[in-house]
């Protein structure tokens, strides 16, 4: 008990643990643990054969955190900024440091504009977004949706229903809005 000086008795001795658990204690010495100490100066082991990496082309237009002096020598190019969402994101990068909540909240706003715009644009392509196939909800039927969720005391059952609203809600609202616009135009 913590109310007296002695530590609680061990439930199992080292010998019992070694007999029960393969490898028990092989890394007991911190020196055998590879991330100990967490900081260890050893640039020679990394494989790098440069003091500063050669610069990847394309940095001129690349957005960056204003906490960086320059665009890092290497960077990802998976989805360059574009359109309205790109302008929102660039604003977040240009105006606010990572220390400001505004930086992140504006980026999340940009994410939602990006998603909505992409959905809309997809309807003018040969492969429009399909909320049924893209959510993978078919797996509810093929991988035991009911038996996996119910009668098993899962804590997440209390909020799973919110997902349906978050996922389907915008589509339903957009559908209602589109229908009402078409109906008004038809009445004219």
Window 100-139: contact mask with another protein (x via CB under 8 A): -x--xx-xx-xxx-xxx-xx--x------xxx-xxxxxxx
Residue 176: CB minimum distance to another protein, A: 19
Under rule CB under 8 A, residue 48 binds another protein: yes
Residues 6+ apart with CB under 8 A from 148: none
- Residue 63, classed as helix, strand or coil, is coil
Q: Are 29 and 49 in contact (CB under 8 A)?
A: no
Helix (H, G, I), strand (E, B) or coil at 14: helix
180 binds another protein (CB under 8 A): no
Q: Which C-beta is closer to another protein: that of 42 or that of 186?
A: 42
Subset of 50-69 contacting another protein (CB under 8 A): 50-54, 56-59, 62-65, 67-68
- Of 23, 31, 185, 187, the one binding another protein (CB under 8 A) is 23
Environment class of residue 45 by beta-carbon count within 10 Å: exposed (0-12), middle (13-18) or buried (19+)? exposed
Instruction: Identify the residue among 123, 152, 186, 187 touching another protein (CB under 8 A).
Output: 152
Nearer to another protein by C-beta: 43 or 184?
43
143 lines the binding site for another protein (CB under 8 A): yes
């Amino acid at each position: 008990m913590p109310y007296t000086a002695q530590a609680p008795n061990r439930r199992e001795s080292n010998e019992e643990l070694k007999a029960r658990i393969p490898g028990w204690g092989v890394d007991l010495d911190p020196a055998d643990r590879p991330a100990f100490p967490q900081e260890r100066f050893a640039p020679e082991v990394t494989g790098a054969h440069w003091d500063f990496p050669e610069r990847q082309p394309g940095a001129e237009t690349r957005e960056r955190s204003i906490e960086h002096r320059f665009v890092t020598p290497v960077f990802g190019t998976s989805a360059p900024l574009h359109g309205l969402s790109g302008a929102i994101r660039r604003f977040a990068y240009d105006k606010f440091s990572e220390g400001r909540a505004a930086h992140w909240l504006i980026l999340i706003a940009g994410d939602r504009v990006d998603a909505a715009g992409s959905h809309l644009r997809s309807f003018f392509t040969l492969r429009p977004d399909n909320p049924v196939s893209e959510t993978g909800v078919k797996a509810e039927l093929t991988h035991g949706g009911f038996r996996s969720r119910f009668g098993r005391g899962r804590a997440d059952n209390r909020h799973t229903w919110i997902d349906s609203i978050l996922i389907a809600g915008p589509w339903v609202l957009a559908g209602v809005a589109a229908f009402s616009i078409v109906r008004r135009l038809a009445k004219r």
